[in-house]
Amino acid sequence: MLISPAFAQAAGGTPESSLMSFIPLILMFVVLYFLMIRPQMKRAKEHKSMLAALSKGDEVVTAGGVVGKITEIDEAYVTLNVGSEAPVNIHLQKQAIQTLLPKGTIKSI
pLDDT, tens only, 70-98? 999 999 999 999 988 888 999 999 999 99
pLDDT category of residue 12 using cuts at 50, 70 and 90: low
Cα–Cα distance between 87 and 76 in angstroms, integer? 22
Tell me the three-class secondary structure of the chain, residue by residue.
CCCCHHHHCCCCCCHHHHHHHHHHHHHHHHHHHHHHHHHHHHHHHHHHHHHHCCCCCCEEEECCCCEEEEEEECCCEEEEECCCCCCCEEEEEHHHEEEEECCCCCCCC
- Report the predicted TM-score, pTM, of the whole model to 2 decimal places: 0.71
pLDDT category of residue 2 using cuts at 50, 70 and 90: low
